[in-house]
Amino acid sequence: MTRSALATGAALVVLAGCATALREPATGTDLLEAGGPRRAVAQSTYLAAARADSARAEGLLGLARVSVWRIEHEQNETERKALVPIALQAAQACARRDPTDPRCDYWLAVALGLQAREHPSTGRDGVSRMVEALRRVIARAPELEEAGPHRVLALVLLRAPGWPLGPGDAEAGLVEAKEAVALFPDHPPNQLALGEALARNGRADESRAAFARAGDLAQALSAAGEPDAAEWNKEAEAALARP
């Protein structure tokens, strides 16, 4: 599962409307039917796991994760938009099945961010719910997905409009980015988030150092066979190329 989505796409929030971001989660069968035949084939394994053990959330978590991955890598806009409700409803169903599992809230937050990007009319409500979910995860499992809760929250705070339109706060975003780096300093997306946060707070030299660090880490991971490292390095290079 790529984690580049958690560094960028999930936090590309747009507060363009106030439509409700969440609806009642569909049944597992409905989730697959909503995705169409091609998506159903890719996701059927996780659905089968969810059906096989109604006491555990693993199958629903897998369905949410693979849907997020596909949204981030799908070039066709119609396809991406069709996948968003699958990711959202799988994460919602996960939380209902096991309210104590912080991973359900985490993937719900990520899916809400992607929905805000693909369906801007849900942005205002979705981003509010996203921030709430991320704060719940931070309280229980801040280290999840290499400090993903801190990293994604940092990017939301950096990119969303500020009060009264949204939760945007560059200083608070920097705090969250620093928390992510403190937990996993060698994870390139955390350094990318820190670089963006430092830039937004007028600390250009430190920002470039963080982006350079992200690139160095990504190159080393690429040599070790990490499949997402090339994308992380590309993000770092793009940031360093900006004036």
pLDDT tens per residue, range 110-150: 999 999 999 888 888 899 999 999 999 999 999 999 999 99
**39 plus 93 within the same structural domain:** yes
| Alpha helices in 119-203, H assignment, sequence order | 123-140, 144-159, 170-183, 188-200
Whether residue 156 is contained in a domain is answered as no
Q: Last residue of some domain: 141, 160, 186?
A: 141
Q: What is the pLDDT of residue 124?
A: 84
* Position 130 in a domain: yes
**Is 5 found in the same domain as 102?**
yes
> What tens digit of pLDDT does each residue of 35-47 get?
444 545 445 555 5
Do 183 and 132 have their domain in common? no
Q: Which residues of the chain have pLDDT under 50?
A: 1-14, 16, 26-37, 39, 41-42
Same domain, 82 and 191: no
> Is there a single domain that holds both residue 132 and residue 48?
yes
Interacting residues of 187 by C-beta distance below 8 A, sequence separation 6+: 3, 146, 147, 180, 217
Please indicate, yes or no, whether residues 188 and 137 belong to a single structural domain of this protein: no
Residues 22 and 128 reside in one and the same domain: yes
Q: Kindly state the tokens that stand for 36.
A: 């169409």
Q: Which pLDDT does position 160 carry in this prediction?
A: 94
Q: How many domains would you assign to the chain?
A: 2
204 and 127 in a single domain? The answer is: no
Residue 26 DSSP one-character state = P
* Domain CATH code at residue 222: 1.25.40
pLDDT at 7: 39
Cα(229)–Cα(194) distance, rounded to whole angstroms? 17
Predicted local distance difference test score (pLDDT) of residue 49: 53
Asked if 152 and 167 touch (Cβ cutoff 8 Å), the reply is no
Q: What is the pLDDT of residue 35?
A: 45
Residue 162 phi/psi, 5° resolution? -80, 180
Domain-embedded: residue 9: yes
Q: Which domain holds residue 115?
A: 1-141
Residue 162 in domain? no
Amino acid identity, position 12: L
